[in-house]
Amino acid sequence: MRDQMEKVVGGSASPEFIAMIRELVVKSDPNPDLLRTDRVIAYHSGSRYNVEVELLLPRHLAVDAAHDLGLRVQDRIEDLPDVERAYVHVC
């Protein structure tokens, strides 16, 4: 019962799940030196998770490249079976 209550009220994901998301983000780009995650949070939205990621990118990266990278990360996270929706913020 308590487990279900956590899911209904938006309980946080486990540290292992968040670590897995961080690893997935880094592997989303052929040049992993470009990607740093500032913040990753995941919380229940029913039985699945909403995930929010903040990516820190180098200043020299063009806007279109940053946009494409953000979409690629979002798509990879949303492909996970436990994820309802991903929000990727590019800074």
- The CATH number of the domain holding residue 43 is 3.30.70.1350
Tell me: pLDDT of 30 over 90: no
Q: Is the pTM of this model over 0.95?
A: no
Query: How many whole angstroms separate alpha carbon 21 and alpha carbon 39?
Result: 11
Both structure tokens of 1: 């019962």
Listed range (3-7, 31-35, 53-57) with the worst mean pLDDT? 3-7
Domain interval for residue 44: 2-90
* DSSP designation for 12: B
Q: How many domains does the chain contain in total? A: 1
Gyration radius of the chain over CA positions: 14
Task: Please check the confidence at residue 6 and state whether its pLDDT lies above 90.
Answer: no
User: What's the number of CA atoms in the CB half-sphere (13 Å) around residue 30?
Assistant: 1
